[in-house]
Structure 1
């Protein structure tokens, strides 16, 4: 005996359900935050490039005897030009974008807000990436005492941080604080602390060798 009762239509999926709206909001926020971070990286990189020009100018004023010498990069010591400054800012932009990506990944675990958060990130970035900048580049130690050169260029990291963090959070409407999931939050803190300790040790040995080599 057949069942002639009409089939019930399938229950439609509620595209406007709370969960769907939550996912949509999260995606839009992520896209906005990512775009804000990239723009902040460009701006902060340009500022850091300008800071590098100021550092080089200070080196020139401290030891004018080297004016006219051409560096390995093809720049003439003591000559400040608009083209050279723009080139340094462009280099800062190129390196500033990866720095912004690092900030977007690490920002939930970086303490503080505003400029303080940026300063903390700048210090973390300094510890993690300093070996890439200092390793084998004797141009940093050729013209002035090593500690002066290291200090001048190390200050570029906090300068970058105090620009990239506030701009990212302002434009991206970021939410401060670590993830709500305790396991994820603690895992992030452990990974960040481990990376800082590891690279700090590498920095120590690198700077020890640099000071032994260049005085």
Structure 2
């Protein structure tokens, strides 16, 4: 993790008041894109290049209190290994005294989960297209010895062109974690989506 210059930088303003925008290193933070129990994701702009990104913001105290340091290290190191058009790209990780900022590719089409909830079941052609992209991403990850272990519509993000991107590698595993029987044995994942063999602890 690099220590970025994190602080409030002045923005442009007009009239009587001066607008200020929070700056994290070379990134100017904007609106909140999403908020979970452990993190907030904000829109941001690289002031040097003008590129738009998403920044996942984690509170260090919250991370330490919930003992998720290893999970975050695993997520960021895994994402750095994966360079694929159907996986959300990580640009860098910046740490301040109180926060961890994970700078990610901006994917602005929302979750596949929300698309299904709002529009009902997908047409077969559309479902096939998403499934092909998902399989391409999973195949690539497995070829790099990375196993996501929490694939679900909430972790599949769509861009504005309908390209599917896999996100959230917090529960991923590396090939060295596989036992001699060729299987993983850590019980993890989201209960509603987890396979029976994971719950039965028979290896998967």
Larger radius of gyration: 1
Which protein has the bigger helix share?
1
Which protein has the bigger strand share?
2
Give the TM-score normalised by the residue count of structure 2. Answer: 0.23
Give the TM-score normalised by the residue count of structure 1. Answer: 0.23
